[in-house]
Amino acid sequence: MHSKQLHYFITTVQRGSIAAAARALDIAQPAISQQLASLEREVKATLLERSFSGISLTPAGEVFYKHAEKIMGEIDNVKSALQAFQGEQQKVVKIGMLPSIGNVLSLPLLTEITSNHKALKVEISTGPSYTINDWLESKQVDIALTYQQAIEPKFMSVTPLIQEELHLVFTGSPAYPEYANLKDKSMIKFWEISELPLLSPGNKDALGQLIADYEKATGVSLKHDLAYSGQLMTGLRQVMQGEGVMILPTSAIFHLKESGLVSTLKITQPEMHRTVLAATNKQRKATHEYQQVIDIIRKVVAKENALKHWCGTLEFAASSFVAKSA
């Protein structure tokens, strides 16, 4: 029996199926099935009942699951305790963040760490909100930068960073006269967006959920007819080619706006905004390095906010935050 088997077993139980565990762990299903079968042979007991709807724990599995969680918790504690003996070796902190956040934060964060925090090293991965959540829950990342709509209080401890503004993003090219009237505006009302072709993610994504919430609250239905891959850069390319508009924070597009490739309008009546938070896993022992990196992230967020790269209101005054969905 080894930690990989326990990790796969716990993730499969938490996700409810081998397929869901494979997505969360970003590995092939057969690899998980093989490890689980090997684990059951070793303990000489059937731990999981498999069906078309997923998996469920057997009575033996219920007992084993409780012990497996304790064992993995102790393994994490041992790793943390031994870090004190690593001397001058860099402490690696893994961060997961959405592409829109990564666009504004990744480079200055890496520069700040490299220049002023030699004992630290950060590894950054980007993905959609639901993937970031999976990474944090399965402990593939130490810190997740995500949005209020994606917070899962059952396993997340969160620190607020910024309440960012959401803007309408459209092509900056004069070659598309259908958007020329937007250039004469200083802002746009939410209902006016209903007259424009919108590129938006589905409700599985935190941004898609937020847009749906605003539609419900205002009674305004937006046009979601355009095909959209869900990939930020692909969507922005469509915008630049005049194929549609997007609703995004300035963090996602400040570089394109500075280059004249896109234009933006602040959305009003109502204003659109969302809270960005740094989340850690409650089941993992907090370390000094995690808090140190979160403090550095706050510093970098403040700098980008001052530069108008990330428009919004800093949320540093609160020491803790409870999501509305809690």
Average pLDDT over residues 174-181: 92
Give yes or no: residues 14 and 57 share one domain: yes
Which run of H or of E encompasses 263?
strand 262-268
Which pLDDT does position 52 carry in this prediction? 83
For 293, the token pair is 């990196």
Highest mean pLDDT among 140-154, 249-263, 303-317: 249-263
Tell whether 252 is covered by a domain. Answer: yes
Domain CATH code at residue 289: 3.40.190.10
- Evaluate if residue 324 carries a pLDDT over 50: no
Give yes or no: residues 269 and 170 share one domain: yes
Which pLDDT does position 314 carry in this prediction? 94
Which pLDDT does position 3 carry in this prediction? 84
Give yes or no: residues 147 and 92 share one domain: yes
Tell me what the pLDDT averaged over the chain comes to.
88
Is the pTM higher than 0.75? The answer reads no
CA 303, 232, 234, 219 dihedral sign is negative
Tell whether 39 is covered by a domain. Answer: yes
Please, which pLDDT band fits residue 85 given cuts at 50, 70 and 90? low
Residue pLDDT, tens place only, 282-304: 888 778 889 999 999 999 999 99
Q: Are 300 and 107 in contact (CB under 8 A)?
A: no
Give yes or no: residues 140 and 199 share one domain: no
- Evaluate if residue 323 carries a pLDDT over 50: no
Residue pLDDT, tens place only, 195-248: 999 998 877 788 888 999 999 999 999 999 888 877 888 999 999 999 999 999
Give yes or no: residues 119 and 101 share one domain: yes
Give yes or no: residues 78 and 92 share one domain: no
- Evaluate if residue 148 carries a pLDDT over 90: no
Give yes or no: residues 176 and 242 share one domain: yes
Tell whether 295 is covered by a domain. Answer: yes
Tell whether 319 is covered by a domain. Answer: no
Average pLDDT over residues 124-151: 89
Count of domains for the chain:
3
Give yes or no: residues 250 and 189 share one domain: yes
Give yes or no: residues 181 and 250 share one domain: yes
Concatenated DSSP letters of 94-140: EEEE-HHHHHHHHHHHHHHHHHH-TTEEEEEEE--HHHHHHHHHTTS
Tell whether 325 is covered by a domain. Answer: no
Residue pLDDT, tens place only, 247-280: 999 999 999 999 999 999 999 999 999 999 999 9
Give yes or no: residues 169 and 135 share one domain: no
Beta strand pairing call for 91-97 and 120-126? parallel
Tell whether 125 is covered by a domain. Answer: yes
Which domain-ending residue is among 30, 64, 83? 83
Which pLDDT does position 326 carry in this prediction? 36
* Enclosing domain of residue 237: 164-273
Domain CATH code at residue 49: 1.10.10.10
Lowest mean pLDDT, pick from 133-142, 189-198, 312-321: 312-321
If DSSP codes are grouped into helix, strand and coil, which group holds residue 250?
helix
Which pLDDT does position 94 carry in this prediction? 94
Neighbours of 314 (CB within 10 A): 15
Residue pLDDT, tens place only, 57-75: 999 989 999 888 888 888 8
Give yes or no: residues 59 and 16 share one domain: yes
Tell whether 320 is covered by a domain. Answer: no
For 16, the token pair is 């409810």
Tell whether 323 is covered by a domain. Answer: no
